[in-house]
Amino acid sequence: MLPLPGLVVTECDALETLTGARALPVAIGGFGDGQGTVTLLLGQEKGLENAWSLIESLKGEPPLEVPALQAVHESGEHGGS
């Protein structure tokens, strides 16, 4: 595994940057269509209505397609030696 330089932006960081609301992750994971789900606890503070509106607008988005990664995963190849 190679280190990648850059700024790490979590879901909580993004929500605060976009809406001003702070969030705390309380559950991560899932199965089936819920894989990769992150459940956030939002406090009662500035930006809460904006955050909720943003979250509601994202519901129902189709999953991200990553064909090259899926092909490697399905074939069992992991690269490296």
Of residues 15 and 72, the one with the higher pLDDT is: 15
User: Distance between CA 64 and CA 44 in Å, rounded?
Assistant: 31
pLDDT of res. 26: 76
Query: pTM of the prediction?
Result: 0.56
CB 22 within 8 A of CB 13: no
Contacts by 9-12 with C-beta closer than 8 Å and gap 24+? 11/38, 11/40, 12/40
Query: What confidence score (pLDDT) does residue 71 get?
Result: 55
CA angle 67–40–37, rounded 5-degree value: 25
The tens digit of pLDDT for each residue in 12-69 reads: 898 888 888 888 887 777 766 666 677 777 776 678 888 888 888 888 888 777 777 5
Parse the chain into domains and list their residue ranges. 11-75
Tell me which of 71 and 18 has the higher pLDDT.
Answer: 18
Give Cα 24 to chain centroid, integer Å: 13
- Cβ atoms of 40 and 23 within 8 Å: the answer is yes
